[in-house]
Amino acid sequence: MTAPSRLVEVLLALCGIAVLLFATAHSIGLSPDSSAYIGAARGLLQGVGLGRPLSEGHYSPLVFYAPLLPLLLAGIGLLGIDPQEGARWLNSVLFAGNIFMTGLIVKRATGSTLCTWVASSLLLISFPMLEVHSMAWSEPTFLFFSLLALLWLSRYTERGAAGDLVAAAIAVGFGVLSRYAGLALIGLGIAAISLGARHPYRHIVRDCAVFAAISGLISSVAFGRNWIVTGTLTDRPGVLHPAGLAPLQGGLRTILRWLWLDAGPRRLPLAVLTVGAAALLLCGLAQRLQPTRQGAPRDMTSAVIRTVLIFSVGYVLFVLVTISFVDASISFDNRILSPVFVWALIGGVCGAQQWAADPRRGYWKRPLVVFSGMWFAVAQLLHVVPWVIDVHRNGQGYATAEWRDSHIMAQVRALPQPARIFSNGDDAIYLLSGRLAERIPERPAATAQQKDRYEAELARLKRQLSESNGAIVYFARIDWRPYLISAAELQSRLRLRTLYAGDDGAVYTIQE
């Protein structure tokens, strides 16, 4: 990579930091998952352990989520930066890193400076990438290590160097520590080695074993710690609920939004004509700007495309299995499909370059490639520009003004410090006020054992409310936890007194 090309790549990465910091000017986006990551980081800094602090000196161990993001946030916290603000800066740097890594992979695969700039620029303006990097989630960390794995696995299958194999295995191991979904990359890496390596069979078996051993050993750090602390690997019970077609239909709708094919029937033809005319005008310029391949081997391009296909298809299948056996609430939205988005973008740019460079194609190939790239860029910008402005003004998730400045949160902040707080939104209370809160009981199941447990939890809740002069905070906006006891049942079973009631929820205390 020449100095001018490297400078452009660095500038694009810095633009990623600037855009993300502008969008998250008030705060990084916050969600229930964010509470687990930020709380675990704060727990480490406070010396209570890797988990969210609870009342009376206890903490909830982080088991359901992978540990790497809280560890990184705690490391940033040693510099005196609160993990919530640290997540904003970490994700901004990771966004820059992912932009740079995308360009690097395309550069190594195609040898084309123009393709490198196109891939990095498209990632910079892509709505799914900006969305996941603007939230306090673990996806940015996972994406970074998955791109490292993609680069080194592709290089290994093309060159056969042992160093590339070991580096890919280490990247996959840290990917698992970022998200448990990274377990899929261990199997997918083995598939990429088996299908792409040009070695005798016994060497392939040996390399697969080395790859699995290194990545598995790094991954076992998280699962071993979970087993020691809680006696479970991930605290995710296995229950059979076949995925069916609904998740795939949701994934198709997500992909159509990526391509702006969910626009109205009147807007699509006009957009096609406009972008098509611009592509015809620019194809000549693209012809002049397109440099030679600079010696990049064709096998490297094929290796990247092959690895991208293995990663993308295998990851989707892994998520479908997870939906069917672990968590039926998973949906193929921008967050879950963000790895596929990045991998497909890299594979698409590499494939387009390889296809356009084929002398057997006709004269229409370059206008078609330019049109496709421009269409994708326009589709992203139509989402990104208004989204960045809106998030800059209003925030995301729990960080929106509607949550931060709500009357019910003001009531929470005004509660006396010794009072224990119970809520259906304990994560929102923790993130927005810093107060420790506990989750209210779940609705009882049909079994007698579950009903007895439910009655015991209600009795304990009543006793704790009375002893600590505590309060129950019930958020009307939280409608995604139907498994929790309702406000009406709490009032009827515990004889509560209303301290505050409004459109955003209510605050109750026990009647003496």
What is the tens place of the pLDDT at every residue in 90-121?
A: 999 999 999 999 999 999 998 889 899 999 99
pLDDT for 267: 54
pLDDT single digits (tens) 185-199: 999 999 999 887 677
CA distance 374 to 376: 5
CA distance 255 to 246: 14
Regarding whether 426 and 355 lie in a shared domain, the answer is no
Judged against a pLDDT cut of 60, whether residue 263 lies above it is answered with: no
pLDDT for 290: 47
Which residue in this structure is represented by tokens 């790239």? 373
Regarding whether 86 and 163 lie in a shared domain, the answer is yes
Regarding whether 415 and 377 lie in a shared domain, the answer is no
Regarding whether 260 and 356 lie in a shared domain, the answer is yes
Judged against a pLDDT cut of 60, whether residue 466 lies above it is answered with: yes
Regarding whether 415 and 385 lie in a shared domain, the answer is no
Whether residue 23 contacts residue 392, with contact meaning beta carbons closer than 8 Å, is answered with: yes
pLDDT interval class at 359 (50, 70, 90): low
Higher pLDDT, 295 or 313: 313
pLDDT interval class at 286 (50, 70, 90): very low
pLDDT for 270: 53
Examine residue 309 and state whether it is found in any structural domain, yes or no.
yes
pLDDT interval class at 57 (50, 70, 90): low
Average pLDDT for residues 364-385, to the nearest whole number?
83
Q: What residues make up the domain containing 246?
A: 3-394
Taking the CA atoms of 418, 482, 339 and 118 in sequence, report the sign of the dihedral they define.
negative
Regarding whether 193 and 300 lie in a shared domain, the answer is yes
Examine residue 272 and state whether it is found in any structural domain, yes or no.
yes
pLDDT for 262: 64
pLDDT for 294: 46
Q: What is the residue-averaged pLDDT of the chain?
A: 86
Examine residue 399 and state whether it is found in any structural domain, yes or no.
no
Examine residue 117 and state whether it is found in any structural domain, yes or no.
yes
Higher pLDDT, 448 or 164: 164
**62-71, 451-460, 500-509 — which is least confidently predicted?**
451-460
Query: What proportion of the chain, given as a percentage, has pLDDT over 90?
Result: 53
Regarding whether 441 and 307 lie in a shared domain, the answer is no
pLDDT interval class at 309 (50, 70, 90): very high
Regarding whether 415 and 315 lie in a shared domain, the answer is no
Q: Which residues of 220-239 are buried (b: 16+ CB within 10 A; e: fewer)?
A: eebbeebeeeeeeebeeeee
Regarding whether 335 and 193 lie in a shared domain, the answer is yes
CA distance 291 to 107: 12
Q: How many domains does the chain have?
A: 2
Judged against a pLDDT cut of 50, whether residue 424 lies above it is answered with: yes
Average pLDDT for residues 53-65, to the nearest whole number?
80
Regarding whether 506 and 360 lie in a shared domain, the answer is no
Q: Taking each helix axis from N to C terminus, what angle separates 139-159 and 68-77, rounded to the nearest 10 degrees?
A: 120
